[in-house]
Structure 1
Amino acid sequence: MRNRILVTALAAALVAIGVHPGAAQAAPGGSGPYPADYETTIRLYDHTVYRPSTIPAGLTLPIVVWGNGACRADGTWFQNILKEFASHGFLVIANGRPGGTGSTDAGMLTEAIDWAVAENSRAGSKYRGRIGTGKVAVMGQSCGGLEAVEAGADARVDTTVFWNSGLLSDRENFRLARLHAPVAYITGGPDDIAYPNAVDDYARLPAGLPAYLAHLPVGHYGTFSQVNGGEYGRVGAAWLKWHLKGDQAARAVITGLGSTGQWTVTSRNLT
């Protein structure tokens, strides 16, 4: 049986600037064409919703759900990268309220997908007809990546991305067999405590499943604390734009990542 290393929580240095749990961030962010903000809603009380501050007419928002490192119920802990994703025209829903405490679970990711699908058709919803319910991504960092493994089995999911994460025990390997859509593992390189877990998971994915494994030597804490999520934000946004929007320029970013000199990349079954 392989030796699994416990994936640690993100360090306190990554904690985002706190705000009042019921308020929206006053400074929209992200490098995309739609500066993004976040909000909360009574209909999905234990989550934080990131979206373009102004949703232009005709823009449909694919769904991205996010599990935090340490399975921490703070929906703004990763706000830099989540605003970055939302600024490219996605509805991003993080587990936990802004500045929240406590723990989360995989069911909260599925709950977020359910809410978005319902809001797209609910009379009176400001998101009515604005959500691309047929395009769904599940993402998570460290412990949140373990949540994403479970939620990624949902038939509605079009891609799953695991950041600095991997299963902790061989007894959980059956979860990998349930993944059915393109998968990406992004690690911080050999110094990332989750590196061997991710490498092992990648090798055990179902045959024929499109899969991507990329390492950037930044350790377990990644680049999440940098403006717009740093290099992780750039690559994550490209992956989403390719798989949820069919953006071929974004595809070229991903398929060419290994030639940049920064990343070490392995892939299979990508089209």
Structure 2
Amino acid sequence: MKSPLHRKKIWNYIFIALLLIGSGFLNSAYAQNQSRTVEDGGTGTYKALMLSEKTLPTHTVFRPENLNVFGNENKLPVITWGNGACNNSPWEHVNFLSEVASHGFLVIAIGPMPKEGEQARDKSEPSMLIDALDWAIAQNSDNESSYHNKIDIENIAVSGMSCGGLQALEVAPDERIATVGVFNSGILPNPDNGMEGMPSLSKEQLEKLHSPTLYMLGGESDIAYNNGMDDFKRINHVPVFVANMDVGHGGTYAEPHGGEFAKVATAWYLWQLKGDKEAGKMFTGSPSGLSESPHWTVQKKNIE
């Protein structure tokens, strides 16, 4: 017969085990479900959510909250995003990225999900854009994933702002990428003059582009203006569109719903990744729809 002291020890062990199991369960659930709505979830058809996925804690996901409406006839194209200053956090761009996602896109930004008011400035690597792409493709084929058969892996964009735009250009030769977005960015004439951690690209990198490319710049006061416009002049083998709005290097990302930059970028993604010809009218025609806006000056090549 076991002594009362022995029984007490057994119950202590059981209690500790239950605490550990419970703690692990709660931590797992938190990692899976950590999320919040940015602003009002965006102006698109699908209210968006910003979240941290436990299978990709190194990135932040922006996507429609309700995934049940997506499937074989309505899939989520993928947009991977590199941040300004190559920061390992999308804290500067959450309004912009949430707005884009609300139009039916799976947006995956480099860096863990930022907390309210957080301004993380750790650095990231261009390879993290490919990590995001690989994750999305794997999730689409995983029977256990909530994204199973809901992702359009044939329509993937790589994009980024400032240093993140150079990250996008570095990985743009990947054949899986259907379009490229380079925002407030452009390759420096002398790569050695860039900031620490910035991809050291030469202008020859532009020859490796194989898909339609959008440049969005902040006008002549944008520190990246000359670099971006020089890129545009050099690109002659793929469709390329450059849009300038006189707002400087910071763009309109932090404005409600990402401001004008989000409107133009979303139209480009709708056109390039979803075949939305109505959205494409912003870029097609002579003159293009965007050229009639008082906010923008534009140029294009290889786009009818």
SS at match of 1:253: coil
- The answer to whether the Cα contact below 8 Å between 2:92 and 2:253 also exists between their aligned partners in 1 is no
Rounded Cα–Cα distance in structure 2 between residues aligned with 1:253 and 1:209 = 18
Aligned equivalent of 1:264: 297
Greater length-normalized contact order (CA 8 Å, ≥ 6 residues apart)? 1
Q: TM-score, normalised by structure 1?
A: 0.89
1:144-183 equivalences in 2 (<5 Å) = 144-170=164-190, 172-183=202-213
Deviating above 6 A after TM superposition, structure 1's stretches of 4 or more consecutive aligned residues are none
Residue 251 of structure 2 corresponds to residue 222 of structure 1: yes
Q: Tell me how far apart the structure 2 counterparts of residues 26 and 162 of structure 1 sit (CA, whole Å).
A: 26
Measure the CA separation in 2 of the matches of 1:267 and 1:201. 12
Q: Does 1:115 align with 2:135?
A: yes
**Secondary structure at 2:291 match in 1:** helix
**Distance in 1 between the 2:239 and 2:55 partners?**
35
- Hey, what's the Cα distance between the residues in 2 that align with 1:57 and 1:194? 38
2:86 is matched with 71
**Matching of residues 1-271 of structure 1 within 5 Å:** 23-27=34-38, 28-55=40-67, 56-58=69-71, 59-99=74-114, 100-170=120-190, 172-205=202-235, 207-254=236-283, 255-271=288-304
CA RMSD of aligned residues (A): 1.6
Q: Which runs of 5+ in 2 are unaligned?
A: 1-29, 115-119, 192-201
Q: Name the amino acid aligned to 1:173.
A: K
Deviation for aligned residue 1:57: 4.1
What's the CA shift for 1:45?
Answer: 1.9
Distance (Å, rounded) in 2 between the aligned partners of 1:219 and 1:77: 15
Compare 230-239 and 67-76 and name the one that shifted more: 67-76
- Structure 1 residue 77: Cα displacement: 2.8
Quote how far apart the aligned CAs of 1:218 are: 0.7
Residues in 2 aligned to 1:95 and 1:45: alpha-carbon distance in whole angstroms: 10
Residue deviations 1:227-256, cap 9 Å, x none? 110000111100000000010110112331
2:63 partner amino acid: R
Identical aligned residues as a percent: 41
Letter of the structure 2 residue corresponding to residue 62 of structure 1: P
Distance 1:93 1:139, change over 3 A: same
Q: Which runs of 5+ in 1 are unaligned?
A: 1-19
- Alpha carbons 2:241, 2:301 under 8 Å: kept: yes
Give the secondary-structure state (helix, strand or coil) at the position aligned to 2:231: helix
Letter in 2 for 1:43: T
TM-score by length of 2: 0.79
CA contact (8 A) 1:76 1:97 kept: no
Larger Rg: 2
